[in-house]
Structure 1
Amino acid sequence: MTPHLSRRHLLVGAVAVPGLLTACSRTEAGTGAPAGDADLLERLRKQGHVRVGFAGEAPYGFQDGGELAGEAPTLHREIFTALGVPELRPTLTDFGTLIPGLLAGRFDVVSAGMAITPERCGKVAFSEPEFVSPTALMVRRGNPKGLSDLESCAGKRVRVGVLTAAVETSYAKAAGVPDGSLVAVAKQQDGLDALLAGRIDAFALTGISLRWLARTNGDAAVEVLEPFVPEVEGVKQYSAGGAVFRTGAVSLRKAFDAELARITGDPARYVRLIGRYGFTEREVPPRTLRTADLCAG
């Protein structure tokens, strides 16, 4: 059985980007989603841009000096340019509204490194995996509680910070961390701040996110422990994320996957594109890892 790979996610304040198209006049009855997703790729080529939703989480998708940056937008810009769609027009929104916004037609693709999970697969269609990344803990410098993974957090009854709507909540519960020891935070910086203030003893997130957070808070007295692979009901939970499409956008998704395979099949190119965000050849998804298996659970 293929291991179930999935990932975190956060909530940020909704911000509208000037000039963004936020609605579509042609919709499917009863859904609000744009009609004619079957020819979406051709329509995007004609208009020269694709509307993407993102959730402001570095290093996956965020704004840097007013520009859309991060792992997902960088890969997606490369892919859509190859498909004849040179411009990404972004909408920053709460993580929890990314899928509803996609289904309502506010944007055409979610560009946020979203975790591929069976529950989400029941609502939307994912690309093949863009990356894999195991979980880690951020702790105060010196690791005063002697933690190593979520099981150690449960055993020592410490308080664990998790992002709202993140998969780490289920990982922590599966490891035995009680509800009363879980502290939800809205965004990454809130987790680090809570750690420094002593409101939590560990902050659980993907290792790559925590390394980025530590890097951008260079003077903070924290450290990121070695990544580990959580288990839920005996199944290892590796982290895999991808682009998200409406289920009707089949031709667009297939064309996207073909270009994505050219990038993930060339690790040097992959690192050249997104290495600046902390992604290495270790994050390249193996060819045997398929979204269909991840969706099946």
Structure 2
Amino acid sequence: MSASLAVAGLVATSACSSSSSGSPEDLIANIKANKQVTIGTSNDAPWSTVSDSGEAVGIVPDILREFLKRADIDATIKSTAMPFDSLIPSVSSSRIDLIGDAIFATEERAKQVSFTRTIFVNPDGLVVREGNPDKIESVADLCGRVGATYKGTTWVEDLKAASARCPNGEAIDVKVYSTIFEVMQDITAGRVDGALIDASLAAYALVQNPGLGVQLAPDYVSPTVDKSQNALATNKADKTFASTFNPIYEAMLADGTVAKIFDHWGLKPIDQFLPK
């Protein structure tokens, strides 16, 4: 299973590195001076991964490369892999310049980091065993069963809230894992009955490797589509990145560049993931 997910580009490692030197208030100046932007990722294909050779790969790195080109900034992207729940602490402590991954721009997180405009929409999916033998089509169907997600996501609280609504004696046994592929492994092994994970990551992993032994529950409708707005995030003190990035990204959306990037990485239907 681990090897299969590695092929799917979902290998997560824990690492941190120092980001560019300079004032945390002016990330754009730091990037120009150091000719590098260090991004943090939890290795979520197709959004953002680190290749075996250390290259930043995926939709977010491609967006950033196009942004740097249009902003006339001569800089390369260095990607650092780490667990999802390490991303905000790492950008807050300036160990990385930017969270370059799929992360919801919530009000709570905005107290800790500075977000750009929404760059894509990415709701949760309900992942179950292949063939869905237990007929799990909603989070409520996990009452009396084992439900899971991974650390740092908003779905931890969603599962706990759903558990609180279950009939007496039929609470959801909520399991929280470090990585998305650990969740999938335990679904396949029968230790988890259903899990809330990133819909695009699940779909991409299944396209890359149909033999994972899991599937997306076909009738599941995410109740959080309107809240699944993903953005780039910088140190809370930064005052320059979002104001530089946002208008350029608007132009990239308008001229179809973002849609082409999504299409290249197999995200279809494209409109499902474009900012609303």
Verify same fold: TM over 0.5. yes
The one of 41, 44, 63 equivalent to 2:28 is 41
Query: Is 1:62 matched with 2:49?
Result: yes
Where 2:137 maps in the other structure, the secondary structure is coil
Where 2:206 maps in the other structure, the secondary structure is helix
Task: Measure, in 1, the Cα distance between the counterparts of 2:63 and 2:174.
Answer: 34
Query: Is 1:265 matched with 2:254?
Result: yes
Query: Is 1:167 matched with 2:167?
Result: no
> When the two structures are aligned, how many residues end up with a matched partner?
257
When residues 221 and 12 of structure 1 are mapped into structure 2, their CA distance, relative to the original with a 3 A threshold, is closer
| Root-mean-square deviation over aligned CA pairs | 2.5
Task: Measure, in 2, the Cα distance between the counterparts of 1:120 and 1:127.
Answer: 12
For 2:87, give the aligned amino acid.
L
* Number of the residue aligned with 1:253: 242
* Number of the residue aligned with 2:223: 230
Where 2:78 maps in the other structure, the secondary structure is strand
Higher relative contact order (CA 8 A, sep 6+): 1
Question: 1:242 offset after TM fit, Å?
Answer: 0.9
When residues 277 and 182 of structure 1 are mapped into structure 2, their CA distance, relative to the original with a 3 A threshold, is farther
The alignment's TM-score, normalised by the length of structure 2, stands at: 0.83
For 1:281, give the aligned amino acid.
D
* Number of the residue aligned with 1:243: 232
Contact 2:83 2:178 in 1 (8 A): no
Query: Is 1:191 matched with 2:183?
Result: yes
When residues 162 and 43 of structure 1 are mapped into structure 2, their CA distance, relative to the original with a 3 A threshold, is closer
For 1:114, give the aligned amino acid.
I
Question: 1:257 offset after TM fit, Å?
Answer: 0.9
Further displaced range: 202-211 or 116-125: 202-211
When residues 139 and 187 of structure 1 are mapped into structure 2, their CA distance, relative to the original with a 3 A threshold, is same
Question: 1:24 offset after TM fit, Å?
Answer: 5.8
Where 1:250 maps in the other structure, the secondary structure is coil
* Number of the residue aligned with 2:200: 208
The one of 53, 69, 73 equivalent to 2:40 is 53
For 1:124, give the aligned amino acid.
V
Task: Measure, in 2, the Cα distance between the counterparts of 1:115 and 1:11.
Answer: 21
Query: Is 1:283 matched with 2:273?
Result: yes
Further displaced range: 106-115 or 46-55: 46-55
Where 2:30 maps in the other structure, the secondary structure is helix
* Number of the residue aligned with 2:121: 132
Question: 1:93 offset after TM fit, Å?
Answer: 2.1
Gaps of 5+ in 1: 1-9, 26-33, 287-297
Give the percent of matched residue pairs that are identical in Structure 1 and Structure 2. 19
Task: Measure, in 1, the Cα distance between the counterparts of 2:152 and 2:238.
Answer: 26
Gaps of 5+ in 2: 1-9
